[in-house]
Amino acid sequence: MGELYKDTREFDYKFGYAETVSAEDVDSLDGTYHSHIKGIIKEVISNPIKWGELKDEEGITNKEKYTYLFQKPNEENRIDSEINNYDLIDVMPPNSVICYIPEGKGPRSMSGRTIVAFPFFPSHISIPAKPGEHIWLLKESVNKLSTGYSFYYWMCKVTTYRQVDDINYTFLPQHERVFEGIKNQKATPGLQRISSADAAIITSYQENTNKELPLEASNSSIIASSTSYRQEFTMEPVPRKFKNCGDLLLQGSNNSHLHLTTEKFNKSYLDDTSKQNLFTNPAIPNNVGNFNNPVAGAMDIAVGRDKKRIKELVALSQAGTKSPTGGDNFGAVLGSRPDGFQSFEGYTLDKINESCNEDDDTPRNAFSRLYMTMDGDVDKDFEIKEDLDFAYQKGASLVGYSDHIRMFSEKTLRLANVNSVAEETFGMIEIDNSGQITLQAGKSDTGAKIILRPNGNIILKPGPKGLLHLGGDESDTTLSVCGVPTSIDAENGTATPEPIKSSLGGELFRGGNPDSETLNFPALSEADVGLLSAGIGALAANAASGTPIPPGTFPVSVTDQAAGLELAPDGTASSKVVIKA
C-alpha cells in the first residue's frame, strides 16, 4: 500500500471532520474507503427487538414505522427523510445508535436526517454512550471520500477537558466555555477559582450560539424524546476514579468499576528494600525513587466509591449548597436547562471546584467491594479489630465487603480450609441439599463435629480422644466439661466433675467416673417407689412398642402432693425429673 496521509481540514471546523485515504485511493482489501467523523447520539438501541415493539402516541410500533420489511406503501419518502440508512433497522445489533452526523463541512453541516451506526467493538465489550453525547464514528464508503453508500461504526465517546468530561454524562459544548472562565479568573486579581457565575455557565446544558445540531434539535430536546435516556439512564454525581499508568480500569456510568492494578492498600513495601529489589539487577543499588511492588497484583471490583461523601450529599436537601470551597472534598452542581426542560435538570459532579480528596479509595469507603490481592494485609486494612485469638494475617487474600453479604446455592454450599502441607489440618462448614449444617475441624476420623439437623437435633461429636469443654478451654484450671464444674488434674490428665444433684435429692457422678455412675436417689416412700416403678415400666413398654416419648418426661401424671416430688425450676408441678448442677 502507498503512503498514508491525513486530511487536516478538521482543524478548520469546530465540529470536526477528517478522512484518511491511501495514495492508491484504496485503504482496505475490499475496495472501501475509511474516515473518522464525530456524531451526536439521538437514540441508543440497547435491545433492537424490544425497541421495535415500542409504540408512539398513535399506537404505531417502531417496527411498523421504520423497518424496511414493514414499511407502508406511501411512507418511503418520510422514512428516508428521517433516517438515511433506515434499511439497517431490521438487522442492527444490540448497542447500535441513531445519530446525527455532518453531511458537509463546517458547523452548520448537520441536517435533520440521522443514520444508524453499529457498535465498532464486538458484543464482548459494550461501551456506554447516552443520547446527546458526542461520539467518534468510523465511516466506511464504497466510493472515495464522502460520496456513495456509507456504513458507520461508532467507537466511543469523545473525550474533552477534565472540567467537562464526566463518567456519568458529558455535554461536549461546555468545553468552549471553560477557557472563558479561566481567562476571567486570570484577569481577576486574587481569584483562586473560576467564578461562580462562570461556573454556572460552564455547567449549563444550554446550547452554544454556534451549536452543531440541526436548528430544530438541542441536547434537551434529544433527551426528552429519547426512550433510552428516560428509561435506562440515571444522571447523578459520580466521583472520578484515577489509576496508575500500568493499570487497566473499566468503569460504568453510575459509580462502579473493575480495576486491575497492584496492591492498593498495603504500603509496607515502601519500607521493604528487599522486596523492592526483587527482579532487579542485584549488582546495582535500587534507585531511591523507584517504588517497585513485585508479586503484588490485585483486582478490585467496587460499587459506590467515596461512600462517605456520597452519603453526605444524599442527606442534603440541596446537594449544590455543599460544593467545597476549600478543596476538602468533591461536591455536586445542578446543571440548568432551557425553559420547558427543567424536569430533566439533575445534579452532576462539580468538576470546576476540584479536590485532591475526590478519589478517597480507602478499603471501606465503598458501598460494596470484592478485592483480590497477591500480597495484602487485609485484616488491618479493612480495620478488623485485632484480638489475641485472631491475629492479623498477611499474604494472598480475597475480601468481600458490604453492609449485607449473602451466598446462595441450589444444592450444597461449602466453606473449607485445605492445607496440603499438613495432612491433619482441615476445616469445613457444609450446608447440604437437605439443609443440614455440618461444622468439622480436623479429618473425619480424628476431628470434632457439630451437626445441626433439619429435624431439630443438635449433635456435638468430639473426636475419639477429644473432650467437650463448656465455659473454658484446655488451658483453664477450672472449667466445665459437659456443663459440670470440673477440676482438672493436668499431671494425670484427668477431669473430676462435681456431683450433679437431681430434683429428687440424689447425685450423679459422685465417684467422679461418668461412665460407671448410676443415679443415686435418697430413700423414697413406697408411693415414690411405686411412681418411679410405674414410670420406668411405662418407659420400657413405650420403647418396646416404638411409641415416641417427649424428652425428659415420665408418661404418668401425678400431682406433687401425691408424689412428694420437688417443683420444677419454673415453679410448676409435673412428673419431670429435673437434673440440676
Lowest-confidence segment of 197-201, 255-259, 272-276 by average pLDDT: 272-276
pLDDT tens figures, 203-232: 999 999 888 899 889 999 999 999 999 999
How does residue 534 score in pLDDT terms, banded at 50, 70 and 90?
low
Specify the higher pLDDT residue, 38 or 328: 38
pLDDT tens figures, 478-497: 555 554 555 656 556 565 66
Percentage with pLDDT > 90 across the chain: 42
Query: Which residue in this structure is represented by grid cell 432551557?
Result: 338
How does residue 247 score in pLDDT terms, banded at 50, 70 and 90?
very high
Whole-angstrom CA distances from 434 to 43, 317, 415, 454 are: 50, 50, 17, 7
Burial track 68-106 (b if 16+ CB lie within 10 A, e otherwise):
eeebeeeeeeebeeebbbbbbbeebeebbbbbbbbeeee
The backbone torsions φ and ψ at residue 178, rounded to the nearest 5 degrees and listed phi first, read -65, -50
Would you state the pLDDT for residue 110? 72
Would you state the pLDDT for residue 467? 81
Q: Strands (DSSP E) along 182-269, which ranges? A: 248-251, 256-262
Percentage with pLDDT > 70 across the chain: 68
How does residue 420 score in pLDDT terms, banded at 50, 70 and 90?
low
Q: Taking 70 as the threshold, does the pLDDT of residue 388 lie above it?
A: no
Would you state the pLDDT for residue 558? 38
Would you state the pLDDT for residue 321? 55
Would you state the pLDDT for residue 520? 44
Report for 405-414, 519-528, 533-542: range of highest mean pLDDT: 405-414
The backbone torsions φ and ψ at residue 493, rounded to the nearest 5 degrees and listed phi first, read 70, 35
Classify residue 409 by burial, with Cβ atoms within 10 Å: 0-12, 13-18, 19+.
Answer: exposed
**C-alpha span between 375 and 383 (Å, rounded):** 17
**Within 13 Å and on the Cβ side, how many CA atoms surround 176?**
14
Classify residue 499 by burial, with Cβ atoms within 10 Å: 0-12, 13-18, 19+.
Answer: middle
Residue 496, strand partner residues: 487
Would you state the pLDDT for residue 39? 95
What's the gap between Cα 381 and its chain centre? 19
pLDDT tens figures, 269-324: 888 877 888 888 877 776 666 778 899 999 999 999 999 989 988 887 666 655 54
The three-class DSSP label of residue 49 is: helix
Whole-angstrom CA distances from 255 to 235, 241, 312, 349 are: 11, 9, 16, 11
DSSP 444-503: TTTSEEEEE-TTS-EEEE--TT---EESS-TT-SEEEETTEEEEEETTTTEEEEPPEEET
Would you state the pLDDT for residue 440? 92
Would you state the pLDDT for residue 503? 53
Region 138-164: mean pLDDT is 84
Would you state the pLDDT for residue 519? 43
**C-alpha span between 124 and 94 (Å, rounded):** 11
Contact 116, 83 (CB under 8 A): yes
Whole-angstrom CA distances from 410 to 429, 433, 440 are: 16, 7, 22
Region 178-202: mean pLDDT is 87
Quick one: cell of 230? 428516560
How does residue 522 score in pLDDT terms, banded at 50, 70 and 90?
very low
Closest by Cα among 39, 156, 51, 139 to 94: 51
pLDDT tens figures, 29-87: 566 788 899 999 999 999 999 999 999 888 888 888 887 666 554 455 455 568 888 88
Length of the chain, in residues:
581
Q: What is the DSSP letter of 83?
A: B
Would you state the pLDDT for residue 488? 58
Whole-angstrom CA distances from 174 to 185, 192, 199, 568 are: 17, 21, 10, 82
**What residues contact residue 265 under an 8 Å CB cut-off, 6+ apart?**
362, 363, 376, 377, 378, 381
User: What does R_g of the chain's alpha carbons equal in angstroms?
Assistant: 38
Specify the higher pLDDT residue, 505 or 402: 402
pTM of the model: 0.76
Mean pLDDT, the chain, rounded, equals 78
**C-alpha span between 568 and 520 (Å, rounded):** 19
Would you state the pLDDT for residue 518? 43
Lowest-confidence segment of 246-250, 406-410, 509-513 by average pLDDT: 509-513
Specify the higher pLDDT residue, 522 or 91: 91
**C-alpha span between 232 and 136 (Å, rounded):** 22
Would you state the pLDDT for residue 202? 92
Would you state the pLDDT for residue 259? 98
pLDDT tens figures, 495-505: 566 665 555 55
**C-alpha span between 574 and 553 (Å, rounded):** 9
Region 377-403: mean pLDDT is 89
What letter represents residue 183's amino acid?
K
Would you state the torsion angle of the CA atoms of residues 111, 46, 208, 252, taken in this order, to the nearest 10 degrees? -150
**C-alpha span between 116 and 454 (Å, rounded):** 59
Closest by Cα among 125, 129, 99 to 37: 99
Would you state the pLDDT for residue 325? 44
**What residues contact residue 379 under an 8 Å CB cut-off, 6+ apart?**
386, 390, 392, 393
Query: Which residue in this structure is represented by grid cell 435516556?
Result: 229
- Domain-wise residue ranges, the chain: 5-46+94-232, 234-279+291-406, 501-580
**What residues contact residue 545 under an 8 Å CB cut-off, 6+ apart?**
none
DSSP H stretches of helix in 238-321: 273-276, 307-315
Please report the sign of the dihedral spanned by the C-alpha atoms of residue 282, residue 283, residue 284, residue 288.
positive
Would you state the pLDDT for residue 109? 64
Whole-angstrom CA distances from 351 to 70, 73, 207, 254, 534 are: 47, 52, 19, 16, 88
Residue 549, strand partner residues: none
What's the gap between Cα 427 and its chain centre? 29
Would you state the pLDDT for residue 34? 86
Would you state the pLDDT for residue 291? 79
Specify the higher pLDDT residue, 581 or 301: 301
Spell out the SS3 assignment of 369-398.
EEEEEEEECHHHHCCCCCECCECCCCEEEE
What letter represents residue 501's amino acid?
K
Quick one: cell of 529? 417407689
How does residue 186 score in pLDDT terms, banded at 50, 70 and 90?
confident
Q: Taking 60 as the threshold, does the pLDDT of residue 268 lie above it?
A: yes
The edge-to-edge listing of strands for the beta sheet with 469-470 is 469-470, 478-481, 484-489, 494-497
